[in-house]
Amino acid sequence: EQPSDSTLYVNAGYQENELSDFAVMEVITWDRALSDDEMKASVNYLKWKLRVGSALEVSEHLATEIQKNFDSFAHPQLDDIASQTFDVPLANGYRADLSGWSHTRPRARGFLKSGAGTATAVVKGLTPAAKYIYQVYMVHEVSTWEGEAKISVNHGHNAHVEQSDLNWPVLQGVAEATSAGEITFEFERGTTDVHIDLSSIAIAQVAGSLSALQELAGVQLGSAASSNSGLVGSGFLHLHLYQQCDSVLL
């Protein structure tokens, strides 16, 4: 069967009064048909998430883009700054070194990169080997420059995300701080000729250990980076949301 465009409705209702008061836990999409094994892995993952999805807690507030952003760096507008490194504050007292960004602009609510190449944000001051939930915000207020970008976390697989004028996270997940207490985010253009924006990064430490979550889930969670056994390593290596994580609780 040839692929074709289709529309997915969530809680649309046949009639206006048929809407429900509910929340979506997760939506997963693929750009191809899944094999039988992949479909089973997807179902098993969703069953697992229903069992432990509420078990992951943070010990710190996970700030929104409105609460903490890079907008103060957009004034005045700076140009030709790709060779500079900016030490920027994050919520919870953390900081990040931003480099490779070519401009600061109000329309990006912070930093912007035009042209090819990689821009980075290295979050520092973290506890080595601790797990952190992260959220990346890439807001662009000019629709003609909205589009796809690629992000990797700790030099993992690229996540393909869409930038827009909405101030919700384009990427979120769980990452482990290195022995130096850092988590590295790398940004590149996607398939279109657009600017890359960075408006905010939210970081909050995970409360408790993953071993307790694994015991609760009744499964052994693998690492996508090392391709260990488990739902993340074997079933979801191709999903951008899980490629940097060895726990999937979003």
Chain segment 186-225, per-residue pLDDT in tens: 999 877 777 899 999 999 998 764 544 444 444 433 333 3
Cα-Cα-Cα-Cα torsion 212, 168, 203, 244, nearest 10 degrees, comes to: 60
Sole residue written with tokens 């701080």: 177
Q: What is the pLDDT of residue 37?
A: 77
Lowest mean pLDDT among 80-84, 203-207, 229-233: 229-233
Q: What pLDDT band is residue 162 in, cutting at 50, 70 and 90?
A: confident
| Residue 113: Cβ-neighbour burial (10 angstroms; 0-12, 13-18, 19+) | buried
- The stretch 17-29 carries a mean pLDDT of 72
Residue 223 carries which side chain, given as an amino acid letter? S
Q: Which residues are paired to 153 by β-bridges?
A: 185
The answer on pLDDT for 120 being more than 50 is yes
Percent of the chain with pLDDT over 90: 33
Q: What is the pLDDT of residue 53?
A: 54
